[in-house]
Structure formats: structure tokens, C-alpha cells
Structure 1
């Protein structure tokens, strides 16, 4: 009875155990760890199997209990001090991606250059909309225009910008 081929058992039951583990842990990596731990426990206790036809059920029970244990231990790990939590948060917030910043800077420069090529009517409304984040009604009050006129100018300005960028890309 103790002559179980664990490589075959692993191949047969891996997906089943993974699904059980994932349904409990809700974490892919943790579920994989649970499955590995399940097979380690099973190999250590292989002599306790009385009926080889029930290996799947036996492994499922081990996986379920192991997953619950993992979830409990993860909850304990996440109970960290406020200062440590704040430091980690700040560390994540301060990480910079220089490549993205450079690309964004270049794009902003290209957009500003293209906006500079627009007529003053379109440039004014677009700068107030994009640069200052104002709404159409606010722009209308500032420029002493009707809100519908502002919406039309924003639409036309965006359309012209799109054409400028398409020409630039095709050049």
C-alpha cells in the first residue's frame, strides 16, 4: 500500500488541490505554496493511507487544512506596527520610474508645442480646460462666451491637435 507514485499523484491531483487552495487563500502564489506543502505533508504520512482509492479525498482534506493554516499565519504577519506600515507606504509612493517620467515630459512638451500652433481662440479655451482644469461653464464666464461656443472650440481644438499629431507621426 505504501508504494504510491507521487509524481503520478501530483500530475493527477495538482489542479484539484490548487483550486481548493486558491478558493481559500484568494492568492495565486499562496495557493501554489499550499499545494507544495500539501504534497510534502502527504509524503511524510503516506503510511497512514488505508485505501489507495481515496488518495484524492485525503489530499483534498490536507490541502484544505493547510490553506486555512496559511491564511491564519498570513493574517498574523499582516499585523504590523503603524510606523512600519507608514514607512512601507512612503517607500512605495516615493519610487520613481525615470523612463516613464522622461516619456511623459517629452509628450507634454510635444502637446504644448502643438497647442502653440493653434489659433488663439482654440489655444485659450484648450489651455484653460487642460492646463487649469476648468469646466466649460467657468471658461465661458472667463472669456465672456456662451458655453456652447466653448464646447465647440474645445472640440475643434482637439480635432486640430489630432490632425497635427497624425501629420507628425506620418512624417
Structure 2
């Protein structure tokens, strides 16, 4: 494979990787860190890429996984304790329902765990569709497959997820 000019690769893919990172982290500074880490990882593993035309998809996968790792590590960090009055004030202003949030988080964990049981092909299309909000044509472009294949994989993945949840409900 020819020598890759990483300054050109950086210029071409920075925005795309930043959007992916930001959609996962929801933090500008953390997203920038993820993009930088993505390019560092890519430089260290550049010899593993087989086709230069798949560079964008390869970098997108690295960015996605790196962002998820960053989010996980941020969750593990301890938060600063707040005084009770301040917590009550925030709760009133936000009008939050803790029970709904806990149920939603639990449901999201169950869905993510179920997605993790699917094949890599199905996980890839669902993650790009659900996490990044990409359309079928965009997913096809990222994964270098036909749009009809993307639609089929999404349909089959959803069908498998539905069966998994039905089994859990009836069990």
C-alpha cells in the first residue's frame, strides 16, 4: 500500500469523525479528544487497512468505539457532591421524573445488550442508524455496501431484536 499522508486524511475526515464523536459524547471538548485519539490509533494501525477507499469507514468505526470508551470512563469518575438544597432546586427547575429516567435508562441498557448479541453486520447498521442517525444511503456509503443490503440488514436485525424481547417477556 502507498504511503498515506495523514495531514490529508485528517483534513478530509475531521468533520465526519467529530460529528460521530459528538453524537456519542454530547461534549465538544470530549469529542475533540476522541477525534485526536482516533487519529493516533489510526496512525499506529495504518498497516492493517487493506483498501484506502475504506479509510473513512475504518476511521468511523475507530471513532465510534473510542467515543464509547470515553463515555464509559467518564461515567466511572466520581461526581462532586452537591448540597441537598441545590439538588432540590435543580430537580424543581428541571421538572424531572426520576422513575421515568431510571426506567428509560434500564430499557436503553436492555436494548444495547440485545444489540450486542447480534452479528457484527447487524450491529454496524443499527449503530449507524440509531446512534448516528444516518440514512440507509449514508450507511451504505460508510460500509461500502448496497442500500438494499442495508435495508435488509436493518429489517432482519429488528426482527431478531423483537424475537429476543418476546422471549424475555414470555420467560
Shorter-chain-normalised TM-score: which range? 0.3 to 0.5
Q: Under a length normalisation based on structure 2, what TM-score does the superposition of the two structures give?
A: 0.47
Higher relative contact order (CA 8 A, sep 6+): 2
Structure with bigger gyration radius: 1
